[in-house]
Amino acid sequence: MVGVGKRYPATIAVDNVDFEVYAGEVHALVGENGAGKSTLMKMLAGSFNDYTGAIFVNDREVRLSSPSVAKSYGIGMIYQELSLAQPISIAENLLAGRLPRKGLFIDRDKMVKQAKRLLKTVGLDTLDPLLPIEDISQHEAQLVEIAKVVGTNPCILVMDEPTSALSKEEVERLFEIIGRLRNTGMAIVYISHHLPEIFRIADRVTVMRDAKKVATRNIKDISREEIVQMMVGKSIKEFFQKEAHPIGKPLLEVKNLSRWGFFHHIDMTVHAGEIVGICGLSGAGRSELAQVICGVEKADEGSIVLDGENIGGLSMAKRVMKGLGYLTEDRKLEGLALRLAMDDNILSAMIPQLRHGMIYNNRYGRNMAKKLVKDLSIYPTDLSRTAGNLSGGNQQKLLLAKWMATNPKVLILDEPSRGVDVGAKMTIHDTIERLAKEGSAVIVISSDLPELVRLSDRVLIMRKGHFTRNMEQNELSEESLLLAANTEVGA
């Protein structure tokens, strides 16, 4: 790619960028949300027909005016947002557009055989190809997406945040797949916010910032700190010292709370000014506990007390009005209204407070929304911009702004920094710290162990629906949390 660029009406998304990837290479592409990484690769995948500059594939200049044209030149892209059709089978998704036929009809036996072969490439040998996509887990769907693109035999494969929905074991499986593909001579572009992944599998890394390329380096010639500095444009420390602040009265008290099949007999107290982490393996019941506390799901038994008031019988909307907030794990599906403007999203959890009788007046709310957009460095700052047109990191900060607007007494954050860049993560962490200093109680559910170590005053370990341990701040390390999360009760 030589001098390529892409301009939107009010934004330059990619500005005169040179980029290359060799056969048999894993080339990492990193940068903050909004830096232009995904747009650059979408140009390669044929998503835009109005780009500037020149693109060469196998030393031949090509015009990639559509996804079908890009595929014809051997370019495949695995997007961060899955493109699978939920109601139809795994096999039909894997072979979409190239289903084997017997006369006028689909050859189902051949379809199943080909699907099994593709599933085997990603370690899903035991999965029934005739299952509908909606019946499999998110991480299985992610691997099916990878198998679908690999099945088209691309010579260049782009992966945009492919590990965002995968467990540690599944990430290892993906790395094995990438290693095999590299050994066949495939050129792989790997977009990720997880720097340890970059150093694990990449041969070279290109850093982008503000729509421009900053540098390309051999991975063995650069440090993690140098990459972060290039990404954010200033020197930062990856870890920060947690500032001590006073812990106040109990704000959330949960007693003997159970939702059968998910978690059982949970006792928990969180105080004003306290940040409590919840750590556990996939399926431990962490998100289900948050959903019951916030009123998304009903408890089978137990009590929930918020600032001295039993709220167990209240709806989620009434719990929000009482001062309980819940930032969901999936910002696109459950957290934001992607077709609505930024200000409508920020104010969506506090409509009753802005209503006077039958009249809804958001004038005061817009002033607050402007302040939150500034405080959280959400870009662009235009409140009328729809949420769906923001980058992933800015969407996550917008979701946090939505709950900050409610001035919560207790805020539960489920994977608050998943899939965001270093700069956005720092902003989110600073906001969580500030919220606690101002006297709110914060619960952080996270699979990011360094995040839990940096933020938490203490961490509750959850395993198979039970709290197994309460770890104080002086006990916290990535190693101790991982060991505790994998230790059976009483072991």
The parent domain of residue 315 ranges over 250-323+407-485
Tokens 């572009």 correspond to what residue? 189
Q: Measure CA 431 to chain center.
A: 18
Statement to judge: residues 150 and 216 lie in one domain: yes
Q: What is the mean pLDDT of residues 195-209?
A: 92
Angle at 41 between CA 89 and CA 231, to 5 degrees: 120
Contact partners, residue 236, CB within 8 Å, separation at least 6? 228, 229, 422, 426
159-194 per-position pLDDT tens digit: 988 876 676 777 888 899 899 899 999 999 999 877
Q: How far apart are CA 434 and CA 430, in angstroms?
A: 6
Statement to judge: residues 270 and 211 lie in one domain: no
pLDDT given for residue 239 in this prediction: 43
Mean pLDDT of the chain: 89
Position 212 in a domain: yes
pLDDT given for residue 104 in this prediction: 86
Q: What is the mean pLDDT of residues 254-263?
A: 95
Position 239 in a domain: no
234-258 per-position pLDDT tens digit: 554 544 556 777 899 999 999 999 9
- % of the chain at pLDDT higher than 70: 95
Position 453 in a domain: yes
Angle at 61 between CA 56 and CA 63, to 5 degrees: 95
Cα dist from 351 to 45, 277, 371, 372, 410, whole Å: 41, 30, 18, 17, 19
Position 290 in a domain: yes
Position 383 in a domain: no
Position 456 in a domain: yes
Statement to judge: residues 285 and 223 lie in one domain: no
Angle between helices 422-437 and 224-232 (to 10 degrees): 80
Query: What are the DSSP calls for 180-209, one per residue?
Result: HHHHTT-EEEEE-S-HHHHHHH-SEEEEEE
Statement to judge: residues 276 and 307 lie in one domain: yes
Statement to judge: residues 270 and 157 lie in one domain: no
Q: Report the predicted TM-score, pTM, of the whole model to 2 decimal places.
A: 0.64
CATH of the domain at 16: 3.40.50.300
Residue 252: which of 183, 307, 299, 215 has the closest Cα? 307
171-175, 384-388, 393-397: segment of lowest average pLDDT: 171-175
Cα dist from 134 to 17, 126, 140, 207, 336, whole Å: 39, 17, 11, 36, 22
pLDDT given for residue 130 in this prediction: 92
Q: What is the mean pLDDT of residues 143-152?
A: 88
pLDDT of 273 above 70: yes
Domain boundary among 205, 232, 259: 232
Structure tokens at 180: 């095999």
Q: Are 172 and 146 in contact (CB under 8 A)?
A: no
Statement to judge: residues 132 and 22 lie in one domain: yes
Q: How far apart are CA 125 and CA 111, in angstroms?
A: 15
Q: Give the total number of structural domains in the chain.
A: 2
Statement to judge: residues 188 and 124 lie in one domain: yes
